[in-house]
Structure 1
Amino acid sequence: MSISVLGVVLAGGQASRMNYVAKGLTHYKGRALIEYSLTSLTDITCHTLINANQNINAYQKFGVKVFADEVDCLDKGPLSGVFSALLQAQILGVSHLLLSPCDTPLVTQAIFERLKLAAEQEPKCVFYIESDSGIQPLHAILPVADMADKLKLYLENEARVMLFYRQLGAKSVYWKDEHAFLNINYLEQLD
């Protein structure tokens, strides 16, 4: 089945472990962290957007639309960004939302292609990446239909990503190279 995909880079977190600097704008090996995800998503999505709650003007310089979290779910962690991204996906009329956090610069386009392939085979299912080191719940693809309503209801009582996925019957997609999921959470990890 052919699907249409919105790619969203999640950069709306507080970055408390990085002294509250804009994580996506910090540099790793000479490039802003956000650039890595944008590059990996662009060729396999119909649209690519950035979810950010601060430094909007700086993120807009990367040439894609930037949107903030909905006011009524700002305190719900990463699911705030996911909910807002689902609303953007509804506006654009795409069938699926492909997510990437801004802090994993080594994630390749092949990983996102694998998620997209899984969604093409089972378009009503949520898929996320799993490697030997564990799950990567924010590297995921979700069907858009009715998902914002389900997530809004879930956020009334809870805000854990994997619990939400489990309630939906989400499935993992295995990726052998766990090095691809290097997560930049501390300033010391930057060059």
Structure 2
Amino acid sequence: MITGAILAGGQNRRMEGKMKALLPFAGELLIERQIAQMKTVCEEIIVVTNQPSLFLPVLDRSIRIITDYFPSKGPLSGMHAALSLARHPDVWIVGCDMPFISAEAAQVLLEQKRSVKCDASVPVIDGRTHPLHGIYSKSCADAISALLLAGEYRVMEMLRMIYWQEAAEALFTERGIDLAFVTNVNNPEEYDMALKNA
């Protein structure tokens, strides 16, 4: 049993103020594309946002919309809210600006997490760690809460406090999974590039 969580906060400054989750993408909204992927492996889907009114007209009632306990503290506060309120012990967390998230990649991460019995399984692609396509235990909420209360808002600091396992590229490529699943779009140029690759 797994919960999927989409972090849809942020100021979207580099996207000229446009809400990234609600950008059109290949005939649907970016968040609708993400939810379709999550529905194939997740029994529950959560959207974390401090602007629920933007999402209520778009999302069906099966999607839970929640807000941060620690508003305006970046992705870490969204992760904390998702992990605190998830109904299942394992939570697949992604950023709302990731158009190519992969349910197959999530399955690989979940298998690794369960076999190693770690707190989280996180992809490391081309030498870069991607915590926003990771699978986390609900219990990680405690470590994140301690960081936020201490005024620490960096996601990488959270990884220093938990037992996490690196999911190397080979885990995905040997199953034919496109590594584009970690791609995110921060600005109009990256958005246009992703559209061309859709």
TM alignment of 1:41-120, pairs within 5 A: 41-54=38-51, 56-60=52-56, 61-63=58-60, 64-70=63-69, 73-89=70-86, 92=87, 94-120=88-114
Alpha-carbon spacing, 1:62–1:126, altered in 2? closer, same or farther (3 Å): same
Secondary structure of the structure 1 residue equivalent to 2:130: strand
The aligned counterpart of 1:164 is 158
Deviation of 1:38 (Å): 1.0
Partners in 2 of 1:119 and 1:48 — Cα distance?
Answer: 20
Deviation of 1:15 (Å): 1.1
The answer on whether the counterparts of 1:133 and 1:178 sit within 8 Å (CA) in structure 2 is no
* Residue 178 of structure 2 corresponds to residue 182 of structure 1: no
Deviation of 1:113 (Å): 1.0
Deviation of 1:25 (Å): 0.3
Q: For 1:30-52, what per-residue CA distance to the aligned partner results, in whole angstroms no more than 9, with x for missing partners?
A: 22111222111112112011111
Secondary structure of the structure 2 residue equivalent to 1:103: coil
Equivalent of residue 36 in structure 2, options 39, 61, 64: 39
Aligned residues: 181
Q: Structure 1-normalised TM-score?
A: 0.86
Moved more, 132-141 or 174-183: 174-183
Partners in 2 of 1:129 and 1:5 — Cα distance?
Answer: 18
Partners in 1 of 2:157 and 2:114 — Cα distance?
Answer: 24
Partners in 2 of 1:167 and 1:150 — Cα distance?
Answer: 7
* Residue 122 of structure 2 corresponds to residue 128 of structure 1: yes
Secondary structure of the structure 2 residue equivalent to 1:12: coil
TM alignment of 1:9-48, pairs within 5 A: 9-48=6-45
Aligned partner letter, 2:31: I
- The gaps in structure 2 that reach 5 residues or longer are none
Identical residues among aligned pairs (%): 26
The answer on whether the counterparts of 1:130 and 1:172 sit within 8 Å (CA) in structure 2 is yes
Q: For 1:92-141, what per-residue CA distance to the aligned partner results, in whole angstroms no more than 9, with x for missing partners?
A: 2x211110111111222111111111122134421111111522111111
Q: Structure 2-normalised TM-score?
A: 0.83
Q: Point out 4+ residue stretches in structure 1 off by more than 3 angstroms.
A: 175-178
Partners in 1 of 2:117 and 2:4 — Cα distance?
Answer: 16
Alpha-carbon spacing, 1:96–1:180, altered in 2? closer, same or farther (3 Å): closer
